[in-house]
Every structure is written in structure tokens, then in C-alpha cells.
Amino acid sequence: MKIKTLAIDDEPLALQLVSGFVQKTPFLELKGSFDNPVPALEYLKENEADLIFLDIHMPDITGTTFAEQLDNKVKIIFTTAHDRYAMDGFRLKAVDFLLKPFSYEDFLLSAQRAKYLIDLEKHHNEANPSDDSYIFLKSDYKIFRVNFRDILYVEGLKEYIRVFLLSDSKPILSINTLKNIEARLPASRFMRVHRSYIVNLEHIRTIERQRIIFGKVAIPVTDQYKEKFQEYIGKRIL
């Protein structure tokens, strides 16, 4: 499966170069290129990325400030013309630090290092699923304990989420984002299949024309998430 990659640089030629290198690399998939970090942050509120090639010296938001706002699962490779920023990269646990101008060979070595770490974490998570078996959700003035095994699917509604349970026809409505709850749910049991839906893989019984059927509800698997979902199903189909 390809690594979802973003390129962020305020210099047009540098952005074009990195984007081209990403597209040239078989195990990387360019999901977006941004000449401004602000729209990139907005993009990440609704979409996933595994790896970001990130310039440091940019207006509005520096690369280091941008990196501090990211989930720890996202790997960062800093790109900059100023080697004095190297310590910032180490402080933020960046995968690598590419000093401009750099060649495709330099780029590829950094990308391979990121791929190794991403694959390592994936295998570790699959072999060692989270010991946590529940979360607490706030709804109105109450706090509900929700067991992972009881979650059927989660729907995102802008600033709210609705958590649908096996044993209750009425979902739990909570002020939260789909991205936040996705980070808390074990990836071995849950998968995002649509910008607005996360499903519990253990409760899938019927799939029809790229739609997951839960009773009278049909959840579409959109193109953005289709490859990952089909890979999961393909390993288990007879």
C-alpha cells in the first residue's frame, strides 16, 4: 500500500521539485501539494497523511510550528536551505532533514527511511493491539463509557460525532471530530471508509457495490479509502 504524502513549500520551484520526486517514487502517493501551510492544516482536519515533506522557513506558519500541531503518527521530513534549523528537526523527531538543493538520490534515501519506520509501526500495531478496550465520551452533561466492541460505526457531522452502538438504537452525540476519535480507536479493529464514517471491522456482515450494510444503513466506501479497505477484505475473502 502506498504512503500518503504531502509536499509543503512556499517556493514554487522547490514545491514542484518535491512533488515530482514524490510522483516518481513507486511507494509514495502524492495526496496534495501546498504553497501555504494554512490550507494544508485545513486539509489534514478531514484527510489523512502518513508523510509530509515540509519546508521550514515559510510565512504565516513556520514548518516547525506546523509540525508541532500534527499527530505523532505523521512522519516529517524537513526541507530547507538553512542548516541552522537542523536542531529543530531533531527536537521534533523528524525522520530526516534535506538541505536544499538536494538530488533525487538524497530524497529517495529519506523516503525509504520514512517507509521503514511507517512499516515498522504498522507491524507493531498489528501484532500488539491496544490494551484499552473502551473510551469515555461526553454528551450533554453526561459522560458515557463506550466499549470498542459495542461500537457499530461512527459518523462525523462537522463539530459533532454520532457513535452508533449495537445495543442501542439511539446514537451518542458528542462534541468532537472524527479525526480525534479515529486517533483513539485501535486501527486493528476500526477503519475510516468515508470522510464522514469510521466502521467497526468486526461487525461488517454485508458489502454491496462498495457499500457496507448495517441494517437499513448503507455506508459508502469512497475512492479515497477504497484501496485500504479492499486490501483488508482481500486478505480475508475466499
- Cis (ω within 30 of 0) for the bond into 101? yes
The DSSP secondary-structure symbol of 204 reads -
Helix 12-24 vs helix 104-127: crossing angle, to nearest 10: 60
Write down the pTM of the prediction: 0.62
**Cα atoms found within 13 Å of the Cα of residue 192, Cβ hemisphere only:** 20
Domains present along the chain, CATH in parentheses: 3-127 (3.40.50.2300), 134-234 (2.40.50.1020)
Residues 6+ apart with CB under 8 A from 16: none
What are the pLDDT digits (tens) for 143-187? Answer: 999 999 999 999 999 889 999 998 877 899 999 989 889 988 988
Gap between the Cα atoms of 93 and 134, Å rounded: 30
Q: What 3-state class would DSSP assign to 117?
A: helix
94 neighbors 80 (Cβ within 8 angstroms): no
Note whether 68 and 91 are within 8 A (CB).
no
How many helices and strands, by DSSP H and E, does the chain display?
7, 15
CB contact at 8 A, 197 and 155: yes
Bridge pairing between strands 197-200 and 206-207: unpaired
Q: What stretches in the chain show pLDDT beneath 70? A: 83-92, 124-132
Here the cell at position 167 is 445495543
- CA 3 to CA 207: how far, in whole Å? 26
pLDDT of residue 146: 92
Taking the CB of residue 77, how many other CB atoms lie within 10 A of it? Answer: 21
In this prediction, residue 91 carries a pLDDT of: 60
> Strand, coil or helix: what is 36?
coil
